[in-house]
Amino acid sequence: MVAWMAGLLYVPRLFVYHSQQSSKSDASEVFKIMEYRLYYYIATPSAVFVWITGLYMAYALGFYNWIAIKFIFVIFMTIYHFLLRGYLINFKNDVNKKSTKFFRLINEIPFLLLLIIVVLVVLKPF
């Protein structure tokens, strides 16, 4: 979970810096490599692992309300993960239309989701 969260927090931060570069610059090419490797080699396998272990946890502990709500937020994180893939492809093809400010704002989404998920796991309400 930590590796997935690191990817979800850092990929948009790379997008912030990448969006400040000319699409033809050497720095832009370096950002493309960094974004690709972080997304595909760390974040995506970690997301798969989180899903496998999360489903096993639900199976082993039983399916309580707090787990169901947690899964809803994990689904939101998964949707966010795939949205980042779309932005990654746009940068790869040099067709990014989003601003630096946009990427700074969406960079806060995974933190908020993580906060809610951790509260649900620790407190186990209901």
Instruction: Write down the mean pLDDT value for the chain.
Output: 93
User: With DSSP H G I counted as helix, E B as strand and the rest as coil, what are the percentages for the chain, rounded to 5?
Assistant: 85, 0, 15
How many whole angstroms separate alpha carbon 90 and alpha carbon 104?
Answer: 17
Tens digit of pLDDT for each residue in 72-117?
999 999 999 999 999 999 999 999 999 999 999 999 999 999 898 8
Residue 57 confidence (pLDDT): 86
CB atoms within 10 A of CB 119: 13
| SS3 track for 90-105 | HHHCCCCCCCHHHHHH
Residue 124 confidence (pLDDT): 79
CB atoms within 10 A of CB 11: 24
- Both tokens of 102, joined, read 């946009």
How many whole angstroms separate alpha carbon 93 and alpha carbon 3?
Answer: 26
Q: Which residue has the higher pLDDT, 56 or 64?
A: 56
Tens digit of pLDDT for each residue in 20-39?
999 889 999 999 999 999 99
- Both tokens of 74, joined, read 């994990």
Instruction: Give percent of the chain above pLDDT 90.
Output: 75
- Residue 126 confidence class, pLDDT cut points 50, 70, 90: low
b/e map of 21-30 (b: 16 or more CB within 10 Å)?
eeeeeeebee
Closest listed residue to residue 97, CA positions, set 105, 86, 113 = 86
Residue 56: pLDDT above 80?
yes
pTM (predicted TM-score): 0.90
